[in-house]
Structure 1
Amino acid sequence: MELFDVAERGAGPYGITVGPDGGVWFTLVHAGEIGRLAADGTVRRFALGRPRCGPSVITTGPDGALWFAEMNAGRIGRITVDGQAASFALSGPGVGPGGITTGPDGALWFTEVNADLVGRITVDGEVTEYPLPSAGAFPAMITAGPDGALWCALNQADAVARVAVDGTVTVHRLPTEGTAPVGITAGADGALWYVGIGGGLVGRITVDGRVTEYPLADRAARPHAITAAPDGRLWFTEWAAGRIGVLEPDGRLGGYPLPGPAAEPHGIAVGPDGAVYAALERGQIARLTAAEAAEGAPPAAQG
């Protein structure tokens, strides 16, 4: 495992993705900046001009730029691979955009955690918002599903919502009370996968709503974000335990401890070469090479 220092302690690396230019792009949620980590370890940082805007999740858009949610500013941001930034205002500064993903319709879809809304923004900035049926649901992360819809984790409702591109919402309750899902991703198996930060588990939900749960050995690990690799592995961060977790296609769970104290891993991404990247609150990016990831973590590392 490699560790890259990308920011001072307190800047808060949070969301992470591998961009179309091969760089690792990440948000600095407390500093109000976007960063890029190059393959040679070089770091560039781009100030957004709003130090407290709270950039959270980041994703590659259909236009080849990086798009991100500004949690505190109530805006959706866009930055090109050469560092040109812009942003688009939502219905109010208190709506709290959190998760964001590219949808099947060529637009960006995002959650508004404080307003119980799911939003859609075109690449030229036109915004449409759709209400969720559950008040106080706190919609967290969002992903495009294999069925042509958007799926998001409803953190305070212990549920997962399916949002059709016309805004129709179907809510699927999860079986474990206190699951508090945050991260969600589409798996290589045609299902959706989520992590329960409250329940200490990884969950699988089919497009027709059938749920299977995989409890972690450390139920207090507080899994936060999850991403799928093409080989069928699911990679996730264990925020409280300071680990990168992995769920193998056969259902075995393992984990890679992060060196040093107070790692607090948040976002996670898999590169096209199979390398795994995690954003660490303490100001670092962790990288598992493709070879390390392919070896598989022993189950004993999870406990």
Structure 2
Amino acid sequence: MRTRPSPKGPHLPPRAPAHLLSSHAVTAGAGPYALAAGPDGAVWCTLVHAGRIARLAPDGRIDEFPLDSSDCGPSLITAGPDGALWFTRNRDHRIGRITTDGRARSYALTGAAPGPYGVAAGPDGALWYTALHTHSIGRLTPDGEVTEYPLPGTGSFPSFLVAAPDGALWCTLNQAHALARITVTGDVRLFPLPTDGAAPVGLAAGPDGSLWFAEIGAGRIGRLDPSGPGAAVTEYPLPDAQCRPHAVAVAPDGACWFTAWATGRIGRVTPDGQVTEATLTDPGCEPHGLAFGADGTLYIAQESGDITRWDVTGPTEA
């Protein structure tokens, strides 16, 4: 394990190359939470407090689609293998599906109040999800068949989930301070993190097969290399250990972008450990999800009420 040194003294890191292009307001109090690029060229967003899914078109138009329950708690969202968007409904324990023209339905899950949260399309054509409260990973086929795979131990709080280039699914285990790898046949392996209280949440796969993750409890961004000896973990301390990094997204150049919801900032970590940050529209905007659009711009879901779009291709500023 390697830990990169944290910046010392009053010096702030260089400014990340992030320049605001546009800001798009949703219904007041709706709570933009997670984002996914859709197959239609739009960016889709869960509105966690309103029970709605929003579609932000490339021309800036926003459409909001109410779900069948305003209190279902739509959480994370992903593009599915069938051309639709799939999302977790954390409060009513269902998996939702919405077509690109706004038609929605949902699927009931097994068990008592599993609390689905993370979701990803698997290489087997199924949708996979994390169950926060039942300590398991679930698999949902397009025709609604549900299978759940228990994780080792208890109370790990499985959170974000991604399909990785190695053909497996990976998730963060927030309370076990670990990552987990699960194959499509249900075989699970845990990868404990070296930092006490890391509490990993956001997770994304890089083009080189590495896994990037946010340590919300430790104020670090981590990178796990599955191909290295013992699946080596490198951790990058952030300038403010209390910034609460939440979600991550990997850019085409291999750098990892993250949201810091406690400080209203976003940041960038390169594979060689350079950390840069930028302030968003308001320090209290509570950034959560982020995703790259089809045009390479970065979209941020700000729970305070906006989806913002940023150009992140410029040079780093001193």
Q: Which TM-score applies when normalising by structure 2?
A: 0.90
The 5 A counterparts of 1:88-103 are 88-92=107-111, 94-103=113-122
The 5 A counterparts of 1:1-303 are 1-92=20-111, 94-207=113-226, 208-289=230-311, 293-298=312-317
Query: In structure 1, what is the Cα distance between the partners aligned to 2:117 and 2:25?
Result: 22
Alpha-carbon distance change, 71 to 297 in structure 1, aligned in 2, over 3 angstroms: farther
8 Å CA contact 1:266–1:281 kept in 2: the answer is: yes
Query: In structure 2, what is the Cα distance between the partners aligned to 1:249 and 1:205?
Result: 11
8 Å CA contact 2:263–2:283 kept in 1: the answer is: no
8 Å CA contact 1:74–1:92 kept in 2: the answer is: no
Query: In structure 1, what is the Cα distance between the partners aligned to 2:103 and 2:152?
Result: 37
Deviates more, 1:25-34 or 1:35-44: 35-44
Could you give the per-residue CA deviations for residues 204-246 of structure 1, whole angstroms, max 9, x where no partner exists? Answer: 1122521111111111110000111221121111111111111
Query: In structure 1, what is the Cα distance between the partners aligned to 2:145 and 2:23?
Result: 37
Query: In structure 1, what is the Cα distance between the partners aligned to 2:65 and 2:212?
Result: 32
Identity over aligned pairs, percent: 54
Could you give the per-residue CA deviations for residues 102-155 of structure 1, whole angstroms, max 9, x where no partner exists? Answer: 111111111001110101111222111100112110000000112111100000
Q: Which amino acid aligns with 1:204?
A: R
C-alpha deviation, 1:296, in angstroms: 4.1
**Secondary structure in 2 matching 1:194:** strand
Query: In structure 1, what is the Cα distance between the partners aligned to 2:152 and 2:220?
Result: 25
**Secondary structure in 1 matching 2:175:** helix
Query: In structure 1, what is the Cα distance between the partners aligned to 2:207 and 2:168?
Result: 16
Could you give the per-residue CA deviations for residues 151-174 of structure 1, whole angstroms, max 9, x where no partner exists? Answer: 000001100001111111111110
Query: In structure 1, what is the Cα distance between the partners aligned to 2:21 and 2:297?
Result: 11
Instruction: Show structure 1 runs of 5+ residues with no match.
Output: none
RMSD between superposed Cα atoms in Å: 1.3
Q: Which amino acid aligns with 1:242?
A: G
8 Å CA contact 1:255–1:297 kept in 2: the answer is: no
8 Å CA contact 1:116–1:137 kept in 2: the answer is: yes
Q: Which TM-score applies when normalising by structure 1?
A: 0.94
**Secondary structure in 2 matching 1:137:** coil
Alpha-carbon distance change, 212 to 261 in structure 1, aligned in 2, over 3 angstroms: closer
Alpha-carbon distance change, 251 to 72 in structure 1, aligned in 2, over 3 angstroms: same
Q: Which amino acid aligns with 1:251?
A: G
Query: In structure 1, what is the Cα distance between the partners aligned to 2:24 and 2:233?
Result: 39
Query: In structure 1, what is the Cα distance between the partners aligned to 2:285 and 2:128?
Result: 30
Question: Normalized per residue, which structure has more helix?
Answer: 1
Bigger relative contact order (CA 8 A; separation at least 6): 2
**Secondary structure in 1 matching 2:242:** coil
Instruction: Show structure 2 runs of 5+ residues with no match.
Output: 1-19
Q: Which amino acid aligns with 1:80?
A: T
Q: Which amino acid aligns with 2:290?
A: I
Give the aligned length.
Answer: 296
8 Å CA contact 1:16–1:269 kept in 2: the answer is: yes
8 Å CA contact 2:265–2:283 kept in 1: the answer is: no
C-alpha deviation, 1:274, in angstroms: 1.3
